[in-house]
Chain A
Amino acid sequence: MTRFSAFELFRQGLTGQSGWKPQWCSPEPKAAYDAVIIGGGGHGLGAAYYLASQHGLRNIAVLEKGWLGGGNTGRNTTIIRSNYLFPESAGLYDHSVKLWEGLSQELNYNVMFSQRGVMMLAHTVHDVQVFQRHVHANRAAGVDNDWLTPEEAKAYCPPLNISDNMRYPVLGAALQRRGGTARHDAVAWGYARAADRLGVDILENCEVTGIVRNAQGAVEAVETTRGRIKTPKVGVSAAGHTSVVLGMAGVRLPLESFPLQALVSEPVKPVFPCVVMSNTIHAYISQSDKGELVIGAGTDIYTSYTQRGGLHISQHTLEAICELFPQFRRMRMLRNWGGIVDVTPDRSPIVGKTPVQGLYVNCGWGTGGFKATPGAAHTLAWTIARDEPHPINAPFTLARFRDGFLIDEAAAAAVAH
């Protein structure tokens, strides 16, 4: 595997950039692995990478039913932040932000992490109270978050309309300066390349069709479209399809899967300096390095696996965008699409063990899984390797629903659902 560097770029330039090799190989599945990860998005590939790099498990595989990063990793709006309310969440999401900060160097792959700031707008008295509570809670937990007046918000994001004759005028904003965006494909590819270099088998077009358990009830193998694979440990990072996959092992989950839509505009010159989100009027927006405005909507109201949604949902979001940023009223939208997000009752994820021995799950990220990619993958790998919770993911067990220790982040989840 060639290491990426300025020198290597120059050296390859001498031969017309024709000597680059594929970034990961496509091996045939082996009959048995020490551990198998189901789901080849950022979360699954990251878990495989950390299993190999930090826990010494090299005989492992990632099974992906389609292509790498083709699910929610490639469908989200790439927003990264950690301004959640409760200390448990601050631990998990800020762990993730810290890993993001060093990820390009660690993977030797530019994930284009850009800490341009995430600004969340308040439009009502209730919003102001909730966000100020978040700002104080975040600062107490060591997470940066500042309260801005409408004038300060406009100074940070000049396209913002702060006039008081809007239907929902901007009354203030919470700004996390360490928040930002990253390049979604690069995250999946970077983890895949780094994991492949450590000996992980990455098996695309390999859909899991069954989970086989032995007489004691523990995981013994998985059935796939490319044959049976024996393994004592299975980690599931299947996002919207987690209920389906864990159903194969007879495990029921407190999840419902909803379509979440996003859309991008035609590319334009740099006009938008940060990420802006508005929970109340259902819109979030940033500009990609390619120049497209990346816009996200709220979830559709019904559960579905269709990866699309109603046009009236995106229309509702665009109405909000046009009111907040009048200069975008004549922009044309290029594409819209949907991803399937698995939502828990308390809007917090489930990361850890399941009632089945050898079966581990990383799910329930709802509308906000991308930001947590490194942190979720890192702590899931720990749990798979040691068969015990990591201190950071310990509060996010499946058992919290039975025991009543819910972590209610509905207000911080930002997307209406």
Chain B
Amino acid sequence: MLVIACPYCGPRPEIEFAHGGEAHIARPQDPSSLGVEDWTEFLYMRANPKGLHAERWRHIHGCARFFNALRDTTTDQFVATYRTGEPRPDLTTAVKA
């Protein structure tokens, strides 16, 4: 079982959480102007990367809030968790600091 660091509550076991899929997929600003290809991309297409993945989690059995995480899908190791609305952490600077 993974230990996941909720940015609001701290580290908690995986069974308290729900997985919310890929992060940073913004809802279109002007939906009626979107073409069919853009809708397909927004609704269905996913990066599904082998490696670092930015994804949403929800602390459903805790604070119930959504947050984002960077996780390596080849090891399941969490690299960072951060609050919704914050930009994806730049790991190149994080390593230097």
Contact = CB atoms under 8 A, between A and B. Distances in A.
Q: Do A and B come from one complex?
A: yes
15 contacts: A243-B50, A244-B48, A253-B45, A256-B48, A302-B2, A302-B19, A303-B53, A303-B55, A305-B50, A306-B75, A312-B1, A345-B43, A345-B44, A402-B36, A402-B40
A255 B71 CA distance: 18
A38 to B, nearest CB: 15
Contacts, number: 67
Interface in A280-311: 301-306, 310-311
Interface of A: 241, 243-244, 252-257, 301-306, 310-312, 342, 345, 401-403
B41 interface: yes
Give the 7 A-B residue pairs with the shortest CB-CB distance, closest first: A254-B44, A243-B48, A402-B40, A301-B19, A401-B44, A252-B45, A302-B19
Interface in B7-37: 14-15, 17-19, 21-22, 36-37
B49 to A, nearest CB: 8
A310 B1 contact: yes
Residue among B41, B48, B75 with most chain A CB within 10 A? B48
B71 A302 contact: yes
Contacts of A253: 45-46, 48
B40 A401 contact: yes
Q: How large is the interface on B (under 10, 10 to 19, 20 to 34, 35 or more residues)?
A: 20 to 34
Contacts of A255: 46, 48
Contacts of A301: 14, 17-19
Contacts of B14: 301, 310, 312
B1 A254 contact: no
B74 interface: yes
B50 A241 contact: yes
Contacts of A257: 48, 73
B1 A311 contact: yes
Contacts of A342: 48
Contacts of B75: 306
Contacts of B44: 254, 345, 401
A306 B74 contact: yes
Given A255-B48, A345-B44, A401-B40, A302 B55 contact: yes
Contact of B73 (A306, A311, A312, A402): A306
Nearest to A312: B1
A311 B2 CA distance: 10
Contact of B45 (A254, A302, A312): A254
Given A253-B45, A305-B74, 7 more contacts: A243-B47, A243-B49, A244-B49, A252-B41, A310-B2, A312-B15, A342-B48
A157 B13 CA distance: 38
B21 A256 contact: yes
